[in-house]
A and B are shown apart, each in its own frame.
Chain A
Amino acid sequence: NAGVTQTPKFQVLKTGQSMTLQCAQDMNHEYMSWYRQDPGMGLRLIHYSVGAGITDQGEVPNGYNVSRSTTEDFPLRLLSAAPSQTSVYFCASSGLRGQERTNEKLFFGSGTQLSVL
């Protein structure tokens, strides 16, 4: 199993550009989420999804869009990048389809380091 795969690992954007951070998991997990990690601020939840077709906002959703058309994929879109979005982004998943929902651990991807100039 590959687990949670994030692409790209590094990205540099200019202010105003758009891009999509990809996240895929092969563990049949229902729950997927996006976090950003900034020095001195820990990880902050951007958006999350509890299943295909269902998404919701986390703590810091402004400037980001998500969709969940399949169980496996949960892309994060930056429509117009801003320097304040320079960060390390982590995708995480948990929960097995068909099983009773419990607070299982989060499986994290290896991160995407994004710089917006």
Chain B
Amino acid sequence: AQSVTQPDIHITVSEGASLELRCNYSYGATPYLFWYVQSPGQGLQLLLKYFSGDTLVQGIKGFEAEFKRSQSSFNLRKPSVHWSDAAEYFCAVGVGGYQKVTFGIGTKLQVIP
């Protein structure tokens, strides 16, 4: 079965600083990888996804992620964080065509002025 590890439960960054959120996955084949964001009291919104092809994926709100097969990683990055980016971020892995998606435990991002 697939699994996802997000090693950082909380991260605090200053507004304008760069951001990297870590994600490692475990799966025997090339997985389908996702990053979702959840604002307080809201459902999850897709930031970006990787299925195949270019390993650097661009998403919404200025986020990008890089798939590294050798490291089984799919880290999320943003060059300059805005206060509105404060939220919880979930990495997820999907298997097959039926969207059986497994989520990580999430990383809560705090942005300080």
* A residues adjacent to B (C-beta < 8 A): 4, 31, 33, 35, 40-45, 48, 50, 58-59, 90, 92, 94-95, 101-106, 108-111
Contacts and interface: CB of A to CB of B under 8 A. Distances in A.
B46 A58 contact: no
Interface string B48-73: 01010000000000000000000000
Given A103-B51, A105-B49, A42 B90 contact: yes
Interface of B: 6, 9, 32, 34, 36, 41-46, 49, 51, 90, 94, 97-106
Contacts of A59: 102
Contacts of B98: 31, 48, 50, 101
Given A40-B9, A42-B90, A33 B99 contact: yes
Contacts of A110: 41-43
B90 A106 contact: no
A50 B97 CA distance: 10
A41 B90 CA distance: 11
B100 A105 contact: no
Nearest to B104: A42
B47 to A, nearest CB: 10
Contact of B94 (A41, A42, A103, A111): A103
A101 B106 CA distance: 27
B36 to A, nearest CB: 8
B46 A102 contact: no
Pick the 6 closest A-B CB pairs, nearest first.
A108-B43, A101-B97, A42-B105, A105-B46, A103-B32, A43-B103
Counting chain B CB atoms within 10 Å of each CB, the highest count among A58, A103, A106 belongs to A103
A13 B13 CA distance: 39
Contacts of B101: 33, 45, 106
